[in-house]
Amino acid sequence: MLLAEKADEAMYQDDESRLDAAEDLAERDPQTAAEALSALACDGSVGDEVRLSAAELLATVARGAAASACLVIACDGSVGDEVRLSAAELLAAVAPGAAAPACLSIARDRQAGDEVRLSAAELLATVAPGAAAPACVAIVSDHSVGDEVRHSAAEQLAVLNA
């Protein structure tokens, strides 16, 4: 570990402090801030909301790095459903073409909430319509999903196939 990394860990004892420091750094040294924000957003030991906040700030500093960070968050099944969906939405905003794997990951995740899965499939239909059918099929065929959500996914599938 580099001396600077050790100093960074000693200096900032919590995730919020690390995020605040990276935010302050963004104005003076965007490249270094982007590296710090990317590391924070992709760190699975960091709280979900802090990771998402780091990705959101990263989008203002380095859009390409933000896309990678959002993909990591959205595809991480240990992250809360709403945060995963928010990361997929941010990904769709900064790099629409890269959002399909994130949306598909959420829509197919049987551990994710029904409404979040449907929202991911609907987002997928807007950014990559050709890739949305498997997401809708995953929801429709999952009998643990509520009838209303399954019906909505079936309607979305019909629109996609029209």
Does residue 1 surpass a pLDDT of 80? no
Give how far Cα 112 sits from Cα of 34, 57, 82, 95, 116, Å: 30, 26, 9, 23, 7
pLDDT at 82: 97
2 confidence band (pLDDT: 50, 70, 90): very low
The two three-digit tokens of residue 117, written as one number: 């899965």
Mean pLDDT, the chain, rounded, equals 90
Cβ–Cβ under 8 Å, residues 143 and 122: no
Report the pLDDT averaged over residues 140-156. 95
Report helix, strand or coil for 1.
coil
Domain positions in the chain are 3-161
Can you give the pLDDT at residue 161? 86
Residue with tokens 């009998």: 143
Give the model's pLDDT for residue 11: 47
What CATH fold (topology level) applies to the domain 3-161? 1.25.40
Residues 50-73 have pLDDT tens digits of: 999 999 999 999 988 999 999 999
CA dist 18 → 22, 52, 132 (Å): 6, 13, 37
Query: Per-residue pLDDT tens for 3-55?
Result: 334 335 444 568 888 898 888 888 889 999 999 999 999 999 999 999 999 99
Beta carbons within 10 angstroms of residue 14's beta carbon = 11
User: What is the end-to-end Cα distance of the chain in Å, rounded?
Assistant: 56
Q: How many residues does the chain have?
A: 162
pLDDT of residue 10: 41
Q: Is the pTM of this model over 0.85?
A: yes
